[in-house]
Structure 1
Amino acid sequence: MLQRLFFLILIFGWHSGFAQNSVEQGESYYKNGAFNKALIIFENLTKEAPNSYNYNLRLIDIYQQLERYEDAENVIQKLISYHPNPIMTIILGYNFQLQGRIEKANKNYDAAIAFVDEKPNYIYSIARKFEDYSLLDKAIEVYKKGKLLTPDKDFTIQLAKIYADQGNVELMFSNYIDYIEYNPGHINSIKRAISDFISENRDNENNVYLRRQLLKKIQQEPNIYWSEMLSWLYVQEKAYNKSFIQEKALYKRSQESFYRIIELASIAHNDNDDETAKTIYNFILESTQNVGALLSAHQSLLEIETNNADDKMLPQIDETYNSLFEKYGKSEATLPLQLAYGKFLAFNAKDADAASKFLKTSLKLNISKFEEAEVKLLLADILVLQEKFNEALIFYSQIQAELKNSPIAQEARFKVAKTSYYKGDFDWAESQLKILKSSTSQLIANDALDLKLLISDNKYEDSTQTDLKQYAKADLFAYQNKTDEAITLLDKILKEHKGESITDETLFQQAKLFEKQKQFSKAEANYLEIIKDYKEDILIDDAHYYLAQLYNTQLANSEKAKEHYERIIFDFQDSIYFIEARRRFRMLRGDSIN
């Protein structure tokens, strides 16, 4: 008896495994368009398991792919006879539609839709089947009927997705907004869903649709989520001042929203909207007693002032830093402010010795290894500023040894390479950069690759490496904020080494320095020269992108900006600028970005 049972189990297991292999083989044939081969397998499978719903559905699909509609109908009718249901009615209707028998198709579709009146629990499955066949108007009809029959359920999210597929953006927004009202907890997922349809251009048609609907909602029922959505829209449009108005109103109603005001200040600051950022940071100073938020706001305000300061304003900034240290002390809590002050002293006030002395007192605090590494990194940067390269390398190497494989250790390794490059030790710099090409930080990896290519492309130009040494010196001048000296030295390279491989890099570096000095026409001339004379060189896509940005942001020439963004889209599809160039091109053209 046990032997017979074991034999039956063995046979059943073998048969199940065989069937599974057949299904996988049949599906593989189906996916690759080998429908005749798939047909043989699924006809055999349905003979062995005539009541299998899945096997029969795949068989129907294969018959339809082969335009054997009568055979498909026979299988459909067989399934209907086993278990009548509205899904099979839709499949039968679609089989008629494929034959061009639209009247019969619609008769079946209408019957499936009418079935909802009797059994509303079929709403989702019927609508989804219509969606599977791209019969979106039918699906909309089912969901709308569902809203009337089952008012306790919500179908707005499904309708919104269908309207998105149809390109009916206004109705899509309307349904997403209704869904927020039904389920406010999903507001962030709705932002993600509609973000592809929104542009930076406030006059874009889609932006207008959404803004109009939100403003109407705010007037009708001023719930906090409408203000939050409107604030979010203004951020997408980079209208940070308008977003702040909404956030202030939200803060008055719920102090829990304060973190969003802090986040908005950071976004405006990072996007160089200094006036709005200053306004928000000052509001933060007036509105909270949280020491962390206060210190961060003070620091950001000082950084904005420093970036826009002339030499006469520096003493006042210095005084402000020191008054903050008097108020909050020099402790672990104020370490970010101490780092900011050290950077200010070295790079802006040009007192590197005072900066180093100040930062060395920070190392005596009870700080973590990572915080200690941040201080040492800045101390090493200041030593590079002073051209004390060997001392700087000691600090960078300490960070690498103490925090192996951490992001800050990788940054230190890159700075070892950069310092060696400034020194003219190109072989050692190149060996460090080879390691960093696979850095977990994409930014460091990209910077490492760019510097490695600069060195490897130019170090063999002549045995003395004069041009590369001059270029590295100009790069150091730029780092030291000696912009005029850097531009002059780059000019010298262009005169003495014109036509050599370093020429395009020199033109590009000089163009960026011209932009820093707001000499935009000179920057434009350099980019255009690269595009004209160095079409085959590695910086050609960089030149197109930076020139497009220059036209778009500084020279108010959107047509020329579009021209250069378009060149990247069509000629440099593997460029790191491709995605951003395409987005900006579409925005300038007035497309919805989706």
Structure 2
Amino acid sequence: MRRQWILAAALAFAQLGFAQSDLELAEFYYNEGSYAQAKLYLDQIWKRTKTKKIFDMYYDVLLAMDDFDAAEKLVKSRMRKKNTRATAYVELGQLYVHFEREVEAKEAFDEALLRLEPKRGSVIALANAFIKLNELDLALEVYTKGLASGVEDLDYQLADLEGRRGNYEGMIDASLRLMRAKPQYFKNVQNSFNRNLRIQDNPELGDLLRTKLLRAAREFPEDTGLSEMLVWYFNQVNDFVNAFVHAKSLDLRFRESGERLIELAQTATRNEDYATAAKCYAYVASKGRENAYFFTARTQALNMQLQPLLKTTPVDREAIRTLAQDYEFTLNDLGLAKETAKIAQDLAHIRAFYLQQPNEAIDLLEEVLNVQGLYERTAALCKLELGDILVFQDEIWDASLLFSQVELDYKDDVLGAEAKFRNARISYYTGDFDWAQTQLDALKASTSKLISNDAIDLSLLITDNYALDTIVEPMWLFSQADLLVTQYRYEEARLKLDSIVTTWPGHALTDEILMERAAMCLEQGELDSAKHWLQEVIDLHFDDILADDAIFQLALILDEAESDSDGAAALYEQLLFDYPGSLHAVEARRRYRAIRGDELTE
């Protein structure tokens, strides 16, 4: 008896070994594309082992060999084991589609629809089977039939399907139903809109979404998710005015502290909508001193008035003078404290650089630095500001001392990089170009993109006009003129620049001199002269590194100061095509599209 058991076991293991060997050979020939050889093994294996893995391999082999009869027999044999499942008929229909038997395929798909069970799982499974075959209309028919039979909770799947079908109206409708029924799907819906609609590139779809959202919000005013989605939508299309209306409504409804308005203000600021940002901050400030964002809001409300003035060409000094009075009123109202130090810092900047009151500015900053409990970073920022004013006052070594303090205190911080750059610039102003270059080399790897770009620009200026030139005096005169420009001593600066041109005609600094002249003219409101110098850079120095700067600056004058949209657009386009790697390319493209209202093909 024991011998019989051992013999039976050995025989079973041998059969298993043969079966395993047959499967390995079948897989080998299948992977090699030798389908006829693979079929020889699979014919036998399928009789013994009817797993999904074997079915899929066998089915693929029969399709590859165009053996319709065997493939149909295989699919139908499997259907007998699950003849109540509608998805089996989708598999059969797929076979008929492959062999271009459209009538039989339609019959199989119709049978699948007839066998659909009124259960959510069955509806989704059948729809997914059709989606896998890219039979999207049939998948929609499945969902329609499922809904008609009382199946619920299909909006997520419907929204996805309608997006695939390109029926964006249906997708939006299903998505909004889903969001109302299941608020936790808010982010999913938002991501779906982003992925499928791309409203920034497809304004007509953006209009459709806006209409649907507004209609739904009116129909379901108690649904705050719709208001949230409207805020998101208006942010996407940079309509911050309407975003403010809905964000404020949500803030009032939920009795919030204004955080969403602060976030909206920051987004609006990044997009240079300072007016709406100011409204956001003013609203938050109206909540009173007890609010956590009160001082931030009061500070930024003023800053939102200052920023557009500083970007104006030329600067409207009368408007800045009026704004300075608002700063003074606010500072008197709130008092000088650690929370209002930024207001004082901005006021000092205005006084020093726009109202010609540097001594008053220095006094104010020194007063700020003595405020009890002043935040360390705020103190560092005030030291940088004070140093800039001391440079303006020609007290550059006192300024350097302040910059060195900040650099030492914030070695691995953007503030330290700011301070280091300022010290490098002082070395440049004083003619110590080698030391300036050493400091600038260290800054090229700075964590701040802005600082790195400034460092690179100054480094290139020194490298191109000092390191490669045996005559040092032109560079020394230019750096002195640069300092004089910083100090608004324009006539003295012009004399030094003129001396370079007269003594060393055709020097490599010529394009920099032209740009410096243009900058001075802009500061003094002499737009025609500024345009003349910039055009000279464009015409005569088109292959120098400042050519794209000149084009962009000239475009800004036409765009903002003279409202010459066509002229500005032509220059933006020239910059994009002739200097695609320019640092101004992104902003030029944005402004070009804003003027033309269309896409730019590169």
Short-chain TM bin:
0.7 to 0.9
Name the structure 1 match of 2:4. none
Distance 2:484 2:347 in 1: 22
CA distance in structure 2 between the aligned counterparts of 1:313 and 1:581, rounded to whole angstroms: 27
Seen in structure 2, the aligned counterparts of structure 1 residues 555 and 217 have a Cα distance that, compared at 3 Å, is farther
Residue in structure 1 matching 2:356, options 350, 357, 361: 350
Q: 1:103 to 1:465 in 2, by over 3 A?
A: farther
Q: Distance in 2 between matches of 1:352 and 1:485?
A: 19
In 1, the alpha carbon distance for the partners of 2:340 and 2:75 equals: 74
Distance 1:515 1:181, change over 3 A: farther
Q: C-alpha separation between the residues in 2 aligned to 1:73 and 1:122?
A: 24
Q: Contact between 1:352 and 1:382, CA under 8 Å: does it hold in 2?
A: yes
Per-residue Cα deviation, 1:176-226 (whole angstroms, up to 9, x for no partner):
33333233344455445435746679x932332222222322332224333
Matched position secondary structure for 1:330: coil
Contact 1:389 1:423 in 2 (8 A): no
Q: Following superposition of structure 1 onto structure 2, how do residues 65-464 of structure 1 map, counting pairs within 5 Å?
A: 90=90, 93-94=93-94, 96-114=96-114, 116-117=116-117, 119-149=119-149, 151-155=151-155, 157-187=156-186, 190-191=189-190, 193-195=192-194, 197=197, 204-223=203-222, 224-256=224-256, 258-269=258-269, 271-290=271-290, 292-306=292-306, 308=309, 320-364=326-370, 365-460=372-467, 462-464=469-471
Whether the 8 Å CA contact 1:198–1:236 is kept in 2: the answer is: no
What is the aligned partner in structure 1 of residue 11 from structure 2?
A: none
CA displacement at 1:536 relative to structure 2: 4.2
The C-alpha deviation readout for 1:215-250, integer Å capped at 9, x for no partner, is 322332224333443344444444433333334444
Structure 1 unmatched ranges of 5 or more: 1-14
Moved more, 389-398 or 550-559: 550-559
The CA deviation string for residues 520-560 of structure 1, in whole angstroms up to 9 with x for no partner, is: 77666666655555554445555666666666666666666
Q: TM-score, normalised to structure 1's length?
A: 0.74
The answer as to whether partners of 1:204 and 1:592 remain within 8 angstroms in 2 is no
Could you report, residue by residue, the CA deviation over 1:354-409 in whole angstroms, capped at 9, with x for unpaired residues?
Answer: 33333234334324543332232222222232233333232222223223212222
TM-superposition CA deviations, 1:420-448 (whole Å, max 9, x none): 23333322222222222222333333333
Stretch of structure 1 that moved more, 519-528 or 462-471:
519-528
Identity score, percent: 27
Matched positions, count = 565
For residues 128 and 423 of structure 1, do their structure 2 counterparts lie closer, same or farther at Cα, with a shift above 3 Å needed? farther
Unaligned runs of 5+ in 2: 1-16, 310-314
Aligned to 2:12: none
User: CA 1:328 to 1:36, structure 2 compared with 1: closer, same or farther past 3 Å?
Assistant: same
Q: Please, what is the CA RMSD of the aligned residues?
A: 5.0
- Secondary structure at the aligned position of 2:411 is classed as coil
Spell out, residue by residue over 1:308-327, the C-alpha distance to the aligned partner (whole angstroms, 9 max, x if none).
Answer: 49666767655554554444
Aligned residue identity for 1:453: L
Q: Distance in 2 between matches of 1:540 and 1:335?
A: 40
**Aligned residues of 1:548 and 1:560 also touching (Cα < 8 A):** yes
Further displaced range: 369-378 or 495-504: 495-504
Quote the residue 2:10 is aligned against: none
Change in CA separation of 1:551 and 1:53 when aligned onto 2, cut-off 3 Å: farther
Query: Cα offset for 1:121?
Result: 0.6
- Equivalent AA in structure 1 for residue 120 of structure 2: P
* SS of residue paired to 2:117: helix
- In the aligned structure 1, how far is the partner of 2:38 from the partner of 2:529? 71
Task: Note the 1:481-496 alignment, pairs <5 A.
Answer: none
**In 2, are the aligned partners of 1:69 and 1:95 still within 8 Å (CA)?**
no
Structure 2 length as normaliser, TM-score?
Answer: 0.73
Q: Call closer, same or farther: CA 1:229–1:118 in 2, change over 3 Å.
A: closer
8 Å contact kept, 1:42–1:58: no
Question: For the structure 1 residues 428 and 322, does the alpha-carbon distance in structure 2 shift closer, same or farther, using more than 3 Å as the test?
Answer: same
The residue identity in structure 1 corresponding to 2:465 is: N
Larger RCO: Structure 1 or Structure 2 (Cα < 8 Å, ≥ 6 residues apart)? 1
Alignment deviations for residues 148-202 of structure 1 (CA, whole Å, 9 cap, x no partner): 45654143x444444445554444443433333233344455445435746679x
Distance change >3 Å, CA 232–CA 43, structure 1 → 2: same
SS at match of 1:463: coil
